[in-house]
Each structure stands twice: as C-alpha cells, then as structure tokens.
Amino acid sequence: MKNKWLFVGFVVVVVVVLDQLTKWWIRDTVPLHESFTVVPEFFDITHVRNPGGAFNFLARSNESLRLPFFFVMTGVAIAALIYFLRELGERQTLLTFAIAGVLGGALGNLIDRVFLGEVVDFLDVYWGAYHWPAFNVADSFISVGVVVLLLHSLFGGDPAEEKAAQPTR
C-alpha cells in the first residue's frame, strides 16, 4: 500500500457515505416502525431509531446524560483508532482496512447522534422468534472490523502481510 492515510481516508469516506445514504433512503421511504420483507423468515428492512448504543445501551437514560456520554466515548474511540492506525505498518492492509471501517462506522453513527439525537437502524435479521437487534451499515463495518481485530489478536498476523514481510532470495 503506497499511502496508508489515503487508503484510510478512502475507506472512511466510503463507509460514511454508504451509511448516510442508506439511512437517508430509510428515513425518506420507510415510515418509522414500518418494515418490509427482503428474505422471508430471515431478513426485513425495518425503520427504527436507537437513542442508545449497541444493544440499546443507555437507551432509556436521560438525554442530557446519554448524548454527552456518547459524544465523549466516540471521541475517545476515534482518538484510539487513529493511534492504532499510526502504529500500523504500510503492509498491514487488512488491519488498516478493519480499523478504518470501524472509524467510518463510528463517524456515521456520530453524524446521526449530532443531527437526530439518535441512530437510524433498519437491518433486521431474525430466525423464528429470535431477533438480532436492528442495525445499520455503520454498525456492520464496526462489527466486521472488531471481529478482524479480535481474530488477528488471537491467531496472529495476516498471511499476505507475513509473506510480504519475508525477505526475497
């Protein structure tokens, strides 16, 4: 990767734009609390709002506590992600992509909190009576990025990265 920061900026912008465009489309076309089926008995598009965090964390708390908490925590998370990005080598493309995806997701949800006071969610996955909490594009990038980081922490480096780091003979 020639320019890590250009790559990070590209990923962040793509994630934020995809996230905000899909949320705009949901707000514009699907009434709040309405849904339509995409894959019967598995996946619906359902327009809901989440004033809390992941899994409705703090959703019922007072807005004067909740919003500053999420703004501060998002700021801390963004600072930590930028620190981790600075520590990554130019060849750590998978980890760079994962962290940039998490950063883009955090910014996408922060935009909702700033302008709406809550996050627009709409991806509704379920199996029978078991429902996963509704989520959005930003949440998807955050989740995938965190899984990649956890797997990397548990099982070591990216094979492509290790191959690229080996001296040529």
Tokens 């600072």 sit on residue: 79
> Residues with catalytic annotation?
121, 139
Q: How far is CA 44 from CA 19, 32, 38, 95, 167, in A?
A: 17, 14, 5, 31, 50
Q: Is 91 exposed, middle or buried (0-12, 13-18, 19+ CB in 10 A)?
A: middle
Taking CA 142 as the corner, what is the angle to CA 139 and CA 148, rounded to the nearest 5 degrees?
A: 140
